[in-house]
Amino acid sequence: MAAIEWIRFLAGAFLLLFGLVIFLIEMIGVFRFKYVLNRMHAAAMGDTLGIGFSLVGLILMSGFTFTSLKLFLVIVFLWFSSPASSHLIARLEVSTDEEPEKHYHRYTIRELEQKLHKAAERADGTTADTRCREEAANTVHTGAQTAAAQEWEQGGAPEIESAAAAGSDGAPGAGPAQEEA
């Protein structure tokens, strides 16, 4: 029985020390980073991980009692409240930043897609069009998709059924030909 208590104590002490090391890293990050969002990220991650490991270590050291249940509920509360409050403060900082171009760049979806395609081209040496054609050739198609995939493989762009031909609700097969019948 004494061996189990020692193992539990050592595991709890290890987790407690690991939590304290995370707090130390958090403090270094808070003082070293210059921009407020970077500081907030270091603080939020340190709080979440550091408090989590420290309290789990205390739970192991105290045994599984009513006190450990309370410590677990503190962990749950902090894991829900700390990220939510950090997110709200970060949104406030971004919306009230007087020099946003100095701190970050806002990308549109199209810009991100272009960056992704360029990075993928650099990584494997193929172009995005070549990869799309290879994916179309390797994909199992059924019905109307098969004709479009074959046309794509041959170098043409597949024709897309228009909303008018599909019907007013956009469902395929409910077009004008079926309304007459």
* Tens-digit pLDDT profile for residues 153-174: 566 554 544 444 444 444 444 4
Which residues lie closer than 8 Å to 137 by C-beta, 6 or more apart? Answer: 149, 153
Decide if 97 contacts 37 (C-beta within 8 A).
Answer: no
pLDDT interval class at 22 (50, 70, 90): very high
Whole-model pTM: value is: 0.53
**Which residues lie below 8 Å from residue 64, measured CB to CB, with a gap of 6+?**
none
- More confident position, 64 or 177: 64
At 122-150, the pLDDT tens digits run 777 666 566 666 665 555 545 555 565 56
Quote the pLDDT of residue 166: 45
User: Mean pLDDT lowest for which of 33-47, 56-70, 102-116?
Assistant: 102-116
CA–CA distances in Å: residue 15 to residues 6, 43, 83, 127: 14, 19, 22, 48
